[in-house]
């Protein structure tokens, strides 16, 4: 049994969404935004469209307008691909941080790190949000662990064990 071809409206949606992403990537975020807002009106529950619309608003510096689109995109945990879900969690957390909503940023970015513990970008943005909430020791620990785990610097590699130790207990003196 073969899969049936997409319906014309689904094919048009996919084509328009792809075009909007290409426009944004080509530096035409304003045009992408117009196209995405129209797509979102036609497909209000579509998580992919909501995510791309949020991202485009962020590119345009319209962070406050991006938030409801990120929230819509993340409403259903399985609605996005794994990569897009990680991107949406990072985008929303980062946007909350830029807007000064630091506790919201920490909450969303912690969720992201829980779901995607190997994502260094999520851990980095969580560290920045933690800095704003005064959690400097935890922020520094996250960054030290990331440095120890991902650096290709020969000297950092030599001290990997010590850096990982201090990432767990920055105040340890021995």
**pLDDT 10s digits, 27-38:** 999 999 999 999
**pLDDT 10s digits, 130-146:** 999 999 999 999 999 99
* CATH value at residue 136: 1.25.40.10
Give the range of the structural domain holding residue 45, as residue numbers without chain letter. 8-80
Residue 74 falls within a domain, yes or no?
yes
The C-alpha atoms of residue 41 and residue 112 are separated, in whole angstroms, by 28
The C-alpha atoms of residue 87 and residue 20 are separated, in whole angstroms, by 17
The C-alpha atoms of residue 163 and residue 135 are separated, in whole angstroms, by 19
Residues 67 and 114 in one domain: no
Residues 74 and 131 in one domain: no
The C-alpha atoms of residue 33 and residue 29 are separated, in whole angstroms, by 6
Residue 90 falls within a domain, yes or no?
no
pLDDT in tens, the chain (174 residues): 455 444 446 778 899 999 999 999 999 999 999 999 999 999 999 999 999 999 999 999 999 999 999 999 999 989 999 999 999 999 999 999 999 999 999 999 999 999 999 999 999 999 999 999 999 999 999 999 999 999 999 999 999 999 999 999 888 775
* CATH value at residue 68: 1.25.40
The C-alpha atoms of residue 70 and residue 80 are separated, in whole angstroms, by 11
């Amino acid at each position: 049994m073969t899969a049936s071809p997409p319906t014309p409206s689904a094919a048009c949606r996919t084509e328009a969404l792809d075009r909007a992403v290409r426009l944004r990537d080509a530096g035409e975020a304003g045009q992408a935004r117009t196209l995405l807002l129209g797509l979102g009106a036609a497909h209000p529950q579509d998580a992919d469209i909501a995510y791309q619309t949020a991202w485009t608003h962020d590119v345009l510096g319209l962070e406050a307008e991006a938030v409801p689109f990120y929230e819509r995109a993340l409403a259903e945990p399985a609605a996005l691909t794994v990569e897009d879900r990680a991107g949406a969690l990072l985008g929303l957390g980062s946007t909350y941080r830029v807007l000064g909503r630091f506790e919201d940023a920490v909450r969303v970015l912690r969720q992201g790190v829980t779901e995607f513990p190997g994502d260094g970008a999520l851990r980095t943005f969580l560290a920045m949000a933690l800095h704003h909430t005064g959690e400097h020791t935890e922020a520094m620990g996250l960054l030290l662990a990331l440095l120890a785990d991902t650096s290709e610097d020969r000297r950092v590699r030599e001290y990997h064990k010590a850096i990982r130790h201090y990432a767990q207990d920055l105040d340890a003196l021995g």
